[in-house]
Amino acid sequence: MASTTIVGGCGHVGLPLGIALANAGADVTLYDTHPERVDEVAAGKMPFLEWGADSELARAIGSGRLRATTDPASISSAEVVIVTIGTPVDEFLDPKVRMFDRAIRSLHPHFRAGQLLVLRSTVFPGMTDRLINWFRQEGPALDVAFCPERIAQGYALKELAELPQIVSGSSPAALNRAKVLFQLLTPDLVELPPLEAELAKLFANTFRYINFAVSNQLYLIAQKFDADFGRIHAAVTHKYPRLAGFPKAGFAGGPCLLKDTMQLAGFNHNSFPIGQAAMMVNEGLPSALVERVKATRDLSRDCAAILGMAFKGNCDDHRDSLAYKLRKILTLECREVVCTDPYIADPSFVPLEVALAKADVIFVGACHNEYRTLRPRQPVIDVFDFLPKAALPALRKAG
Ligand SMILES: NC(=O)c1ccc[n+]([C@@H]2O[C@H](COP(=O)([O-])OP(=O)(O)OC[C@H]3O[C@@H](n4cnc5c(N)ncnc54)[C@H](O)[C@@H]3O)[C@@H](O)[C@H]2O)c1
């Protein structure tokens, strides 16, 4: 079985992939520049929450087929090198293309002829061809493939076993080698040329982001006219398959959806009106919720509690979570803001009981299962429609 090194191997994409490949029989080294994460993984401990991963990590390490290191020399000894490092946008929402370029180029001394380089990070379209050309000029002679990751964070191990894999390659040989690699996970492979595979990944995330924005916009329209979006949503999706994909309203945060929508906008020379409108709706939601509450009560006297600070429910990741944007807005408006989250260790957070005891008004920030049956005595702003609604005291219009 081909020996594999995963660059960025202790991250949210690299680590589950490494575990899955090792447990499918591959010999995997996780190379990462984050020493604490590497130490944790080497000791058999997951550095973040992935459901079902603790036992699978222990199995992979125990089999001797998975190891973690901060040594980039681990790249040279591998037949396959998979890259899963982050590909963020900058403060102007422009993709940091050069950062990815630089990261790959800094590893140049460790590549050797004959390796298969698989890009698994979500890259700016054209990046695969750009790297292919760069390696053609600078050597060594590599096969290059782009095979996007499509897991939902937190459910990676389940989904890596279930989802089809999109594969693309710089040549028939590269494509074939990528297919052999991913056949370890699934027989269900979908082939595309590299640019189309890059766009496929961005289209998928962008489509989801825009859909969330549609629901959030409709939520705000319903709210403006004192109609209940959750009730309308339940009614129109009831036994009506054409609207099966109509999401509920909620915060569309996290490290991927906005970022990838902006990558696509950047690729299309900043002309992506529907994506940019989606950003305005989704990023504006916390502020719109607070404005609505302000019409019903004087927040300056209130302690507001935010339940859940992760970017989504049952997750410990706070990257680009809109609950933090909500906290910032509420901090300017309220006497006090308290935050709680069972999955995120933050000394400024309080236990759930304290948040419930102190709060005059409550905002749901993330739909953790721990909140599912809560019946707070205070008014609750629950854009997700997650708490049992019948029991909640309603907000009343001022005057
Ligand atoms: N998080 C997801 O659910 C998800 C899903 C699909 C695709 N993606 C894409 O996958 C990529 C990675 O995302 P992530 O969430 O895993 O990020 P992450 O920050 O969790 O993981 C990246 C890892 O790379 C390491 N790293 C950074 N630079 C490095 C370098 N030069 N050499 C070695 N290691 C390095 C970091 O220490 C980190 O552990 C992004 O392009 C993202 O858009 C993410």
What six digits make up the tokens of 202? 């961005």
pLDDT digits over 162-216, tens only? 999 999 999 999 999 999 999 999 999 999 999 999 999 999 999 999 999 999 9
pLDDT in tens, 87-98: 988 888 888 888
Residue located nearest, by CA, to atom 43 of ligand 1: 122
Q: Closest Cα partner for 44 from 63, 25, 71? A: 63
What SS3 state is found at 143?
A: strand
Ligand 1 atom with the smallest distance to the CA of 150 is 6
Ligand 1 pocket mutation, candidates 75, 85, 108, 150, criterion most atoms within 8 A of CB: 85
Question: C-alpha angle with apex 81: 78 to 84, nearest 5 degrees?
Answer: 145
Question: Considering the chain, what is the average pLDDT of its residues?
Answer: 96
- How far are the Cα atoms of 3, 15, 123, 143, 215 from residue 81, in angstroms, in the given order? 9, 14, 16, 10, 40
Residue 68 burial (CB < 10 Å; 0-12/13-18/19+)?
A: buried
pLDDT of residue 91: 85
Phi, psi of 82 (to 5 degrees): -110, 130
- Do β-strands 165-169 and 143-146 pair in parallel, antiparallel, or remain unpaired? antiparallel
CB-based contact 7:38 (threshold 8 Å):
no
Residue 299: phi and psi, rounded to 5, are -65, -20
Domains and CATH numbers, the chain: 3-192 (3.40.50.720), 200-391 (3.40.50.720)
Q: What token pair was written down for 321?
A: 């979570």
Kindly state the average pLDDT of the residues 21-26: 98
Q: φ, ψ for residue 307 (rounded to 5)?
A: -95, 110
pLDDT digits (tens, 9 = 90+) for 275-315: 999 999 999 999 999 999 999 999 999 999 999 999 999 99
Alpha helices in 268-316 (DSSP H): 273-294
Buried b (16+ CB within 10 A) or exposed e, 48-65: bbbeebeebbeebbeeeb
Amino acid 219: pLDDT: 98
The whole-angstrom separation of Cα 118 and Cα 174 is 9
Which of the listed residues 17, 19, 30, 84 should we mutate to test ligand 1's pocket, taking the one with most ligand atoms within 8 A of CB? 84
CA distances from 152 to 27, 48, 149, 384, 393 (A): 25, 14, 9, 19, 34
Which residue has the CA at smallest separation from atom 24 of ligand 1?
8
**What is the pLDDT, as a whole number, of residue 399?**
43
User: In 3D, which of 105, 64, 63, 53 has the Cα closest to residue 83?
Assistant: 105
Q: How confident is the model at residue 391 (pLDDT cuts 50, 70, 90)?
A: low
> Tokens in use for 138?
């600078």
Query: Integer distance in angstroms from the first to the last C-alpha of the chain?
Result: 72
Cα angle vertex 295, ends 293, 298, to 5°? 75
The CA distance from 81 to 88, in Å, is 21
Degrees, nearest 5: CA angle 118-123-124: 140
pTM listed for this prediction: 0.95
How far, CA to CA in Å, does 297 sit from each of 18, 163, 214, 268, 290? 51, 47, 28, 44, 10
Residue with CA nearest ligand 1 atom 28:
85
Question: In this predicted structure, what is the pLDDT of residue 165?
Answer: 98
The lowest-confidence range among 91-95, 128-132, 356-360 is 91-95
Report whether pLDDT(18) > 90.
Answer: yes
Is the pLDDT at 395 greater than 70? The verdict is no
* Residue labelled with tokens 């199995």: 59
Q: For residue 106, which atom of ligand 1 is closest to its CA?
A: 31
pLDDT tens string 306-343 = 999 999 999 999 999 999 999 999 999 999 999 999 99
What count of other Cβ atoms lies within 10 Å of the Cβ of residue 241?
7
Pocket perturbation via mutation, ligand 1, pick of 29, 32, 165, 201 by most ligand atoms within 8 A of CB: 32
Residue 390: per-residue pLDDT: 62
Show the ligand 1 pocket: residues with CB < 6 angstroms. Answer: 7-8, 10-14, 31-34, 37, 84-87, 103, 121-122, 149, 151, 153, 255-256
Edge-first strand listing for the sheet containing 303-307: 336-340, 303-307, 361-364, 380-381
Minimal CA–CA distance to 308: which of 231, 260, 223, 374? 374
pLDDT at 119: 98
Res. 396 pLDDT band, cuts 50 70 90:
low
**Protein residue with its CA nearest to atom 7 in ligand 1:** 149
Ligand 1, atom 4: closest residue by C-alpha: 13
Checking if the pLDDT of 397 tops 80, the result is: no
The pLDDT tens digits for 211-234 are 999 999 999 999 999 999 999 999
The DSSP line for 233-281 is: HHHHHTT-GGGTT-PPP----SSSHHHHHHHHHHHTTT--HHHHHHHHH
